[in-house]
Structure 1
């Protein structure tokens, strides 16, 4: 589970990450990353990285969507330490994510984050 200080909750934060951030697409998900360059823009000097998730009905029924969200929250919780401070991340699950296993989601998430952060896989 993601701690409260690491969750995206406001619509404006989701919109900022999607509209102003960089995007990396994978077969199972799309990751949007917005890095704040000015620390005063974030409201605090050292605010933590925050993540939000979008899982639509195209992924599956309610049980499948909740399973995908739980898996993605768990995976992002392990990776928040590698993200720059004050960054916003939105992970959008694509329809294939409902049938994918934990390892497949982890692989796609890692690849997308590495691409966005400019690191070699």
Structure 2
């Protein structure tokens, strides 16, 4: 579970990060990273019904939360990060999700420099 200070909870923040942030995608994920002025980095996840039924969607969300929690120290100090799972995320393991997440995060961080 992510600490409460790092959770993105309102729809407006999701929309703003998706529209104004840098985007990078892979076969299983799309990552949006929007810079912020102050405060903690907030993270949100989007896993639609296209990914699978409720059990599969929750499994994908748990895996993604765990992977992002491990990477919080390497991410910017402020801003908003939205991780959107694509349907292919349901059929891959945690290791492949980790590789795709790392690749996408690296791309959006390079694009912000």
TM-score by length of 2: 0.94
Q: Trace 1:1-121 onto structure 2 (pairs within 5 A).
A: 1-36=1-36, 39=37, 45=38, 47-118=39-110
CA RMSD of aligned residues (A): 1.1
* Runs of 4+, deviation exceeding 6 Å: none
Unaligned runs of 5+ in 1: 40-44
Partner Cα separation in structure 1 for residue 8 and residue 55 of structure 2 = 22
**Partner residue, 1:42:** none
Q: What's the secondary structure of 2:82's corresponding residue?
A: strand
Q: How far off its partner does 1:109 sit? A: 0.2
Structure with greater Cα Rg: 1
